């Protein structure tokens, strides 16, 4: 195990991810709980994270001193490096100018961290983000790499196996960063690199059992991958103590609701309350055209229905959610434990407080592709785990203007054709999200000998790694022509198709 001490960096979870990618188990502990975690885990290596804090500042956090006397390798990243220097007898100063973004470091000397990776005289791209810098190196260390802005870009003490780097190896902008972290975990700490998703599954199951005990858990299914994977995992842990609630708002894609119901009831045999309430949602959406008003109505109604259903089931003290790491903005507050905010658009946000329930969130530290791996590990089909993300408010935010049953049906047909063609062309997995939008605009067309006056359908396809930024997927013209022809021919109510060429930013992925 590697213990990652979190000083509140925004990217601490990325360190954990890189360690997992190296096939090594890791756990993150906020600095205030690091002592306890050390005793519990008996780690073979320690990584000290970055931080928004400043080492010279009064009251800024430190690593427990005994970590440096435990005979365990330590890697300090950015603030972690500075803290290590300060605690071991070096000096850190508030910088008068920072260094942010891409930088190039030169390798001056070998060290064990670089074995098989970097050699003397080479120059490598890294990602810097720091204001302060180490001005006096602690005894026992030597400088092994430098950059113009960071004379101590990498420092090493091979004897004690202590290493520090001023840059961030965990972000993708440091191209060799993942390999540096893997080198630390395997080569320096001597860990085997044989940790797998199967072990994550086993560890989580034990954790869920411990948390829940004999309690009852309710899990809201959205129809998407995350909540389904969370539910299947929790069911494996506690069986019939789990009940799933599927609030079916009628705003799903073609065939989706049936798939979810049959997957849970028939395939996994997980108790499922399927609450079909399309009419309730469509009635409430009558006359609503403002995107935020739609979202608010859907979010609130979803919670009302869910709460009523949960009351019917009764007796549950836990609420399970498929929250992923990107949904969580996690920071360590300097007075206590981690503080957490969930994106306001998250489906059942607000419910736990309202219903006085405790949260079970087994996917909190994972990224989307890791959740997909876990889903595969749990036996979910490739077609299910590979599904594109789908927003909580569903098709309602893909129908600018008023949402009606008729317009939902038109959109479902067009969307199904589009996705069908994408799958046939073998492009589905290369795209982060692809969907059709039904515009509240009518245009004139001609079909056969007649004039048509029908709606415009927009097509969207983007590539992304986390949904925060996105690029337009560059289909070839032949593909788009084929899709447009099929949609206009096969879907009554649409006579024109356009392709959305906007990246994010400045556009968002969804249209509303």
Residues in binding site for ATP: 222-228
Does position 310 interact with ligand XMP (CB under 6 A)? The reply is no
Question: Which of 86, 124, 130, 168 does the annotation list as catalytic?
Answer: 168
Respond yes or no: is residue 388 known to be catalytic.
Answer: no
Task: Give the nearer residue to ligand XMP in terms of CB position, either 21 or 510.
Answer: 510
Question: Which of the residues 339 through 368 are near ligand XMP (CB under 6 A)?
Answer: 345, 347
Phi, psi of 422 (to 5 degrees): -65, -40
**Residue 392 found at the interface with ligand XMP (CB under 6 A):** yes
Does 389 help bind ligand XMP (rule: CB under 6 A)?
A: yes
End-to-end CA distance of the chain: 44
CA distance 416 to 209: 40
For position 420 contacting ligand XMP by CB under 6 A, the verdict is: no
Report the distance separating Cα 248 and Cα 223, nearest Å. 9
| Spatial contact of 187 and 115, defined as CB atoms under 8 Å apart | yes
- 99, 170, 365, 421: the catalytic one is 170
CA atoms within 13 A on the CB side of 313: 27
Q: Are 302 and 348 in contact (CB under 8 A)?
A: yes
Among 164, 393, 400, 458, binds ligand XMP (CB under 6 A): 393
Smallest distance, ligand XMP to C-beta of residue 99, A: 31
φ and ψ of 190, to 5 deg: 75, 25
- Judged by CB under 6 A, the chain residues 207 through 246 that form the site for ligand XMP are none
Q: How many CB atoms lie within 10 A of CB 249?
A: 27
Question: Sign of the C-alpha dihedral, residues 456, 284, 359, 327?
Answer: positive
Q: How long, in residues, is the chain?
A: 512
Q: Is 50 in the site for ligand XMP (CB under 6 A)?
A: no
510 binds ligand XMP (CB under 6 A): yes
Record the tokens describing residue 166, joined without a space.
């001023």
List the one residue out of 61, 343, 401, 27 whose CA is nearest residue 200. Answer: 27
Bridge partner residues of 127 (DSSP):
102
Told to check if 508 binds ligand XMP by CB under 6 A, we report yes
- Write the binding mask 465 to 484 for ligand XMP: x where contact by CB under 6 A, - elsewhere: --x-----------------
Q: Residues 135-164: x/- map of binding to ligand XMP (CB under 6 A)?
A: ------------------------------
DSSP state of 263: I
Residue in 177, 391, 400, 458 binding ligand XMP, rule: CB under 6 A: 391
**Cα 188-194-198 angle, rounded to 5 deg:** 140
168 as an active site residue: the answer is yes
509 binding ligand XMP? (CB under 6 A): yes
Phi-psi sector, 140: left (phi>0), alpha (psi -120 to 50), beta: left
* Cβ burial, residue 246 (10 Å; 0-12/13-18/19+): buried
Minimum CB distance to ligand XMP, residue 229 (Å) = 15
Stretch that binds ligand XMP, among 12-20, 54-62, 88-96, 390-398 (CB under 6 A): 390-398
Nearer to ligand XMP, 151 or 291 (CB): 291
Mapped onto helix, strand or coil, the DSSP state of residue 404 is coil
Residue 134 Cβ vs ligand XMP, minimum distance, rounded to whole Å: 39
Residue of 129, 166, 259, 433 interacting with ligand XMP (CB under 6 A): 433
Whether 78 sits among the annotated catalytic residues: the reply is yes
- Binding residues for ligand XMP (CB under 6 A): 295, 345, 347, 389, 391-393, 433, 467, 504, 508-510
Could you list the active site residues?
A: 78, 168, 170
């Amino acid at each position: 195990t590697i213990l990652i001490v979190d000083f509140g960096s925004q990217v601490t979870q990325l360190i954990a991810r890189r360690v997992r990618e190296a096939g090594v188990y890791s756990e993150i502990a906020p600095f205030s709980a690091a002592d306890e975690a050390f005793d519990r885990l008996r780690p073979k290596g320690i990584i000290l994270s970055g931080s928004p804090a400043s080492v010279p500042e009064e009251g800024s956090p430190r690593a427990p001193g005994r970590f440096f006397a435990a005979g365990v390798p330590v890697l300090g990243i950015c603030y972690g490096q500075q803290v290590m220097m300060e605690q071991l007898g070096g000096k850190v100063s508030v910088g008068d100018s920072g260094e942010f973004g891409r930088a190039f470091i030169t390798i001056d000397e070998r060290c064990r961290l670089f074995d098989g990776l970097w050699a003397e005289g080479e120059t490598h791209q890294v990602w810097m983000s720091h204001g302060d810098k180490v001005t006096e190196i602690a005894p026992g260390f030597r400088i092994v790499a430098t950059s113009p802005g960071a004379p101590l870009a990498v420092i090493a003490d091979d004897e004690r196996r202590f290493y520090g780097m001023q840059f961030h190896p965990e972000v993708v902008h440091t191209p060799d960063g993942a390999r540096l972290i893997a080198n630390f975990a395997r080569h320096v700490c001597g860990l085997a690199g044989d940790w797998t998703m199967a072990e994550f599954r086993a560890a989580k199951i034990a954790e869920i059992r411990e948390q829940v005990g004999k309690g009852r858990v309710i899990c809201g299914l959205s129809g998407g991958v995350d909540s389904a994977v969370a539910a299947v995992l929790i069911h494996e842990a506690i069986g019939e103590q789990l009940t799933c609630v599927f609030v079916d708002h009628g705003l799903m894609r073609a065939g989706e609701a049936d798939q979810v119901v049959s997957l849970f009831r028939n395939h996994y045999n997980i108790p499922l309350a399927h609450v079909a309430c399309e009419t309730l949602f469509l009635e409430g959406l009558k006359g609503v055209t403002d995107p935020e008003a739609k979202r608010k109505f859907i979010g609130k109604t979803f919670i009302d229905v869910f709460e009523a259903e949960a009351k019917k089931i009764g007796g549950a003290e836990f609420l399970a959610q498929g929250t992923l790491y990107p949904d969580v903005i996690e920071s360590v507050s300097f007075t206590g434990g981690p503080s957490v905010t969930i994106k306001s658009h998250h489906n059942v946000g607000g419910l736990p407080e309202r219903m006085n329930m405790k949260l079970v969130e087994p996917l909190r530290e994972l990224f989307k592709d890791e959740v997909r791996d876990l889903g595969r590990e749990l036996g979910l089909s490739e077609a299910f785990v590979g599904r594109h993300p789908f927003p909580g408010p569903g098709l309602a935010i893909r129908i600018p203007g008023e949402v009606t049953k008729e317009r939902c049906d038109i959109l479902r047909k067009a969307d199904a054709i589009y996705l069908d063609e994408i799958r046939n062309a073998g492009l589905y997995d290369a795209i982060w999200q692809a969907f059709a939008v039904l515009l509240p605009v009518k245009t004139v067309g001609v079909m056969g000998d007649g004039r048509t006056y029908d709606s415009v359908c927009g097509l969207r396809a983007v590539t992304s790694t986390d949904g925060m930024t996105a690029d337009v997927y560059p289909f070839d013209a032949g593909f788009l022509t084929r899709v447009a022809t099929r949609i206009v021919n096969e879907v009554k109510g649409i006579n024109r198709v356009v392709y959305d060429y906007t990246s994010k930013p400045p556009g968002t992925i969804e249209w509303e």
